[in-house]
Structure 1
Amino acid sequence: MERYVGYDAGGYYPGKDFGLVRHYAAAIDEPGNVYEHDSTFQDITHSRDAYVGEFICRSGYRSGKVCGHVRSLGIAAHYSDGPVYNLVSTSFCSQGGDSGGPLYHADAALGIQSGHITYSTGECYSLFQHVNEALDWYNAEVY
């Protein structure tokens, strides 16, 4: 089911990888929730930076809710249409269609899904843009 949430307020790519939708739909009671794909929701009340080793979860359109740990910070991804810098690398993989989904820990927003890297060994890691970089760019905050 698709619902109108708000309007596209812009984006930044390549170099960084994020966009912003400004909330503009009074009919949506709790727009700050993350749907966890098991009929539950996680209320997001604030944002902060992730740290190495932290237990985190993400919710993706294609692969649902997956949890793991932050592997490293400051990763550069060289996508076919341009590089993206200062990404968070996680211990889990993602699928096409998960981009733009949230990275979070409890009620804290941490990142926005950028993509993933799959190595010839079969290892796969998801990459996330720090959410605070996107919020700072737009002078916005978590709802």
Structure 2
Amino acid sequence: MRAPDPNYRQVVEDGFREAAFLTDLGIKLVDFGPGWCESSLRIHPRHLQHTGVIHAGVQATLADHTAGGAAMSVTPAHEYILTLEFKLHLLRPGKGEELRCRAHVLRPGKAFHVVESEVFAMAGDKKTLISKLTATMAVLPREQGDSTSM
């Protein structure tokens, strides 16, 4: 895949750095390139639900925003993306010290991109796939002075 915006790296980095909710949760951008993005989250007690597993909302946020980063990497500079819908499959209980997410664009388009994310729980040397997200991201025109990126 190619990045139609020569400044796509700055756009994706800004999208992670400027998202206050991601900062609150502790989600970090790990790496990315045209059509893909990786992020991570160190797990703390606030990320767990009452049974001690990683909350589905935490997994959804990580997977959705990482999908947004992948989508933005293949979006022209005069446009931005916004999630239209997503489906999250919770495959097994999430337990571990860290979550890692990798998203990739399945189909870039002029009106929307289809993106997939996989979320892995890291426990020591063990990496377990715990959830998978499929999302449709709308490609929308930026308005003059609009700094929206993800």
Shorter-chain TM range is: 0.3 to 0.5
TM-score scaled to structure 1, two decimals? 0.32
Comparing both structures, which one devotes a greater share of its residues to strand? 1
